Amino acid sequence: MNHLTDKIKQFLIPAAIMLPVAVCIILASRISILENRIAGREAYEELGTRESRLVQLSWYDENVYPGFEGSDSSFISEYAGADLSEYIPEQTANDVNTIQTADGLNYASDTASDGVHRVYLTFDDGPSIYTDDILDILDEYGVKATFFVIGRENTASYARYLRIVEEGHTLGMHSYSHVYSDIYASPEAFAEDTQRIRSLLEDVTGQTPVFYRFPGGSSNDVSPTDVRVLADYLDSQGIIYFDWNVSSGDAGRVPLTSDQIVRNALAGIETRDTTVILFHDTAAKRATVYALPQIIEALQAMDNVEILPITYDTAVIQHNIG
């Protein structure tokens, strides 16, 4: 009997100690998720009116970008990731127009030849000081877009992730770090980075992001790891990646004016069923913000053109890889 009691004690005492410890660890992690969400919500509520944001923006321009004249070459180094590989012209051109449906999946129901030209505005590398401006413009024109964001852990960014979701846009992933040499170092590194951005966005917005854009695109030639392996990994996680078939050119080595960005973005819209336009949403990309109203107005004036956010219904635009 005593022997049995000893046995029970041997199990019960450690269990009695370990269980509360485990509960505490789980609760602590829940608390940190909720804290992120609350901080984002508070910052979101503090964003204030558009007018107050514009005041902040002009303060930002004057203090951070003195002498800014609509060309952003000297401000590139401000970009938080400080990863200049983004500014090597991406393997992109307005003539890339490959539509592939991922293996075995056929979710692209909006490709039906119904004569509608579907246009998807996509913004990479945010959130930044300009995200709010872009969201304001989209709101003004009643347009939904797609933001492929990177990981930025501060309340202003949490607020912007939330704003994107709450205003009905698609929040996609564009890696956590955006540092090519880290992300593409190995399949494991890629998986770790992807999980990191996914859980950050989940923590902050309460929604699981399902769309991804490879930094540099899936056709980038900087990844030492075969991008097809990484694409398979995304597929295994239920994540769909999107490239683009039109580049606005706003991240090239030579900064473009707003007019040039407008021209690039609008080229050949009526020749395609699906157009996914690449823009950038970083603090160095003010010309993009200036170009956006013109682009939207031109698109809205075209016949049979719809501007949409990326969803499961979107025809998948992927570059040919391998």
Q: Rule CB under 5 A: which residues touch Zn ion?
A: 124-125, 215
Minimum gap (Å) between residue 162 Cβ and Zn ion: 21
- Residue matched to tokens 């039109």: 246
Which C-beta is closer to Zn ion: that of 125 or that of 136? 125
Q: At residue 96, what is the residue type? A: V
Which C-beta is closer to Zn ion: that of 44 or that of 176? 176
State the Cα–Cα distance between residues 194 and 174, nearest whole angstrom. 8
Which C-beta is closer to Zn ion: that of 124 or that of 136? 124
Minimum gap (Å) between residue 174 Cβ and Zn ion: 6
33 contacts: CB under 8 Å, gap ≥ 6: 203
The count of other CB atoms within 10 Å of the CB of residue 217 is 23
Which C-beta is closer to Zn ion: that of 125 or that of 133? 125
Phi and psi of 240, rounded to 5°? -105, 130
User: Of 252, 301, 298, 242, which is closest to residue 274 (Cα–Cα)?
Assistant: 242
Minimum gap (Å) between residue 86 Cβ and Zn ion: 5
Q: Is residue 234 a contact partner of residue 198, using CB atoms and an 8 Å limit?
A: no
The two three-digit tokens of residue 126, written as one number: 């945010």
Minimum gap (Å) between residue 180 Cβ and Zn ion: 9
Compute the Cα dihedral for 279, 166, 199, 309 and give only its sign: negative
The two three-digit tokens of residue 187, written as one number: 């399949």
Minimum gap (Å) between residue 127 Cβ and Zn ion: 13
Which C-beta is closer to Zn ion: that of 35 or that of 153? 153
Q: Is residue 275 a contact partner of residue 283, using CB atoms and an 8 Å limit?
A: no
Minimum gap (Å) between residue 75 Cβ and Zn ion: 16
Q: Is residue 101 a contact partner of residue 309, using CB atoms and an 8 Å limit?
A: no
Minimum gap (Å) between residue 39 Cβ and Zn ion: 25
Which C-beta is closer to Zn ion: that of 269 or that of 278? 278
Minimum gap (Å) between residue 294 Cβ and Zn ion: 23
State the Cα–Cα distance between residues 73 and 9, nearest whole angstrom. 70
Which C-beta is closer to Zn ion: that of 83 or that of 203? 83
State the Cα–Cα distance between residues 164 and 144, nearest whole angstrom. 9
286 contacts: CB under 8 Å, gap ≥ 6: 61, 65, 68, 70, 72, 130
Which C-beta is closer to Zn ion: that of 179 or that of 185? 179
State the Cα–Cα distance between residues 92 and 87, nearest whole angstrom. 12
State the Cα–Cα distance between residues 218 and 236, nearest whole angstrom. 16
Minimum gap (Å) between residue 215 Cβ and Zn ion: 5
Which C-beta is closer to Zn ion: that of 209 or that of 215? 215
